[in-house]
Structure 1
Amino acid sequence: MVLLFISGFHRPQGWRRLLAEELPDLDFRVWADEAGDPADIDFALAWDPPMGELARYPNLKAIFSLAAGVDHLLKDPALPEVPLIRMVDPALISGMNEFVIHHVLHFHRRFDVFEERQLRREWKELPAADTACRRVGVMGLGAIGSAVAGKLGGLGFAVAGWSRSAKEIRGVESFDGEDALIPFLNRTEILICLLPLTPATEGIINKGTLAALPEGAYVINCARGDHLVEDDLLAALDSGRLAGAALDVFRAEPLPREHPFWRHPKVIVTPHIASLAVPRSAVPHIAENIRRIENGQPPTNQVSRERGY
Structure 2
Amino acid sequence: MTSELTMHRLARKLRTDPTVHLGDDVEPGWRDTLAAWAHSHGLEITDRDATLAITTRPDHATGAAWVHSPYAGIEHLAPVLPDDVLLTRTTGTMPQRIAEYVTAWVLTERWQTARYLADSASGTWDPTDPPTPPDRTGAVVIGTGAMGRAIARALACIGHRVTGLSRSGRPDDAFDAVLSLVPAHGTPAPDSTAFGGPGTDVLVLALPHTPQTDGLITPELLRAFDGVHLINIGRGSALRTDTLLTALDTGRVRHATLDVTEQEPLGPSSPLWRRADVTVTPHISGLTLPSDVVAALEAALERIQAGVRPTSAAVREQGY
TM-score, scaled relative to structure 1: 0.82
Q: Which amino acid aligns with 1:95?
A: R
Pair 1:264-2:275 in alignment: yes
Matched-pair contact (CA < 8 Å) for 1:197–1:227: yes
Q: What's the RMSD between the two structures over aligned residues?
A: 2.9
Structure 1 distance, partners of 2:273, 2:225, is 24
Instruction: Give the aligned residue type for 2:166.
Output: S
Q: Does 1:205 align with 2:217?
A: yes
Measured in 1, the distance between the counterparts of 2:269 and 2:213 equals 27
Letter paired with 1:43 = L
The yes-or-no answer on 1:61 pairing with 2:78 is no
The 3 A distance-change label for structure 1 pair 188 and 66 is farther
Per-residue deviation, residues 129-180 of structure 1 (Å, max 9, x unmatched): 3257422111111122112101211222222211122222256232224366
Equivalent in the alignment of 1:32? none
TM-score, with structure 2 as normaliser: 0.79
Are residue 283 (structure 1) and residue 285 (structure 2) matched? no
1:286 to partner: Cα distance? 0.7
Q: Are 2:226 and 1:196 aligned?
A: no
Matching residue within 145, 151, 155 for 1:148: 151
Aligned partner letter, 2:309: P
Map 1:27-176 → 2, pairs under 5 A: 27-28=44-45, 35=47, 38-39=48-49, 41-47=50-56, 49=57, 52-54=58-60, 57-58=62-63, 60-74=64-78, 77-81=79-83, 82-89=85-92, 91-111=93-113, 123=126, 125-126=128-129, 128-130=131-133, 133-165=136-168, 166-170=170-174, 172-176=176-180
SS of 1:144's equivalent? helix
What 5-or-longer segments of structure 2 have no aligned partner? Answer: 1-17, 184-189
CA distance in 2, matches of 1:287, 1:83: 15
Once the two structures are TM-superposed, the CA of residue 277 in structure 1 deviates from its matched residue by 1.8
Deviation at 1:128, TM superposition (A): 4.0
SS at match of 1:156: coil
Asked if the contact 1:190/1:217 (under 8 Å) is kept, the reply is yes
Gaps of 5+ in 1: 30-34
Match of 1:19 in 2: 37
Cα separation, 1, equivalents of 2:90 and 2:153: 21
Aligned to 2:19: 2
Cα distance change of structure 1 residues 240 and 259 upon mapping to structure 2, 3 Å threshold = same
**CA deviation after TM superposition for structure 1 residue 275, in Å:** 0.5
Among 234, 237, 259, the residue aligned to 1:223: 234
CA distance in 2: counterparts of 1:296 and 1:241, whole angstroms? 50
Deviation digits for residues 184-215 of structure 1 (CA, Å, limit 9, x no counterpart): 2335321101122222221122222222111x
